[in-house]
Every structure is written in C-alpha cells, then in structure tokens.
Amino acid sequence: MKKHHHACKHTITEEAARELLADKGINRTRTKLDILTTLSKAHGPLSVAEIHERIGSDSCDISTVFRTMTQFTEKELVRELNLGEDFFRYEVVSPEDKHHHHHHVRCRNCGSIKALETCDLTPIEKIVSKLGFSDLKHVLEFSGICAKCH
C-alpha cells in the first residue's frame, strides 16, 4: 500500500537516515538525523540558514550545521550546489541519484527551485576538451520566472 503524505517523494524515515549515516561511518546524533531528514523532506535544495531554521534554530548552533554539511558533502551524503546566490545549497544524494548528474531552475521572484532531469553538454564539453582541458566539471544553473509568478 502506498503512503500518502505532504513530504516530497524523496522523504526518508528516521530509520533510513540512521542507516545512511551508519553506512558512511557517521555518528547518528539527534542533530545529524534531523538535518538529514529535513533535507530529504525539502522540496528543493536548502541553504545552511534554512536547515538551521527548520530543525529549530535553538536546537543547535549554526556552526554545527556548517560542520555537518561539510562532513556530509565529503561523505557524499549530500551535494553542494552553487545556484548563483551568495551562499551554497545542499540536497541529499539519493542512491539512484548518485551518478545522476542534474541541474536546477530557480524562480527569481519567489525563489522556488525545480530540478531538471537532463544534462547533455557533451557537444560543448568536446569543445572544452579540444582546448586542452581534462577532468572536466561544470556548473550549470538556470533562473527564470515560474508559472505561478508570471
């Protein structure tokens, strides 16, 4: 039987969160569990400030959130995104997602963020390779005005 709730489809239970942390050899503290489930419930990538706010800004210090995000990123539990803002956002790297590189569109009006399923830059990357660059990475993020705000 399918579960119905308001959270996004990638929401994970505390149980699953415990497992993910254990797999990566990260201690399962209240704060880390909260951060991970909060991120998975979110409908888009969150900034450190947003995470801190959502888990209850008095439940832990914001520096702890920063430290946790660094740790999660290193352990590839989350992905750090530069969406052209002056801070980073983070999203969980779900297992299926792991090798599924993707990008985002952000509404310049309401700030809502949607993920894009595709990313075919091979033609451009070929050109870059011809310039002599190897081990290519890229940042590609879109912004626009979403349907609601239009």
DSSP 131: T
Gyration radius from the chain CA atoms: 17
Using rule CB under 8 A, residue 49 touches its own copies:
no
In the list its own copies, DNA, none, the entry touching 55 (Cβ below 5 to 8 angstroms by class) is none
Backbone angles phi, psi at 13, to 5 degrees: -80, 165
CA distances from 34 to 12, 27, 119, 142 (A): 11, 13, 31, 29
Number of residues that bind DNA (CB under 7 A): 23
Distance CA 150, CA 148 (A): 6
Q: Which one of 11, 43, 97, 146 is in contact with its own copies (CB under 8 A)? A: 146
What is the token pair recorded at 117?
């399923």
Tokens representing 116 are 């894009």
Angle 129-82-47 from CA coordinates, rounded to 5°:
160
d(CA 118, CA 49): 29
In this structure, which amino acid lies at residue 44? G
Give me the least distance between CB of 77 and its own copies, in Å please.
21
Considering only residues 93-122, where is the footprint of its own copies by CB under 8 A?
103, 105, 107-108, 114, 116-120
9 part of the interface to its own copies, by CB under 8 A: no
Question: Which residues from 67-106 bind DNA, rule CB under 7 A?
Answer: 67-68, 70-71, 86-88
- Residue 31 partner contact from its own copies, DNA, none using kind-dependent CB cut-offs of 5 to 8 Å: DNA
Does position 57 bind DNA by CB under 7 A?
no
Question: What residues line the site for its own copies (CB under 8 A)?
Answer: 82, 84, 103, 105, 107-108, 114, 116-120, 123-125, 127-128, 131-148, 150
Question: What residues line the site for DNA (CB under 7 A)?
Answer: 26-27, 29-32, 47-49, 59-64, 66-68, 70-71, 86-88
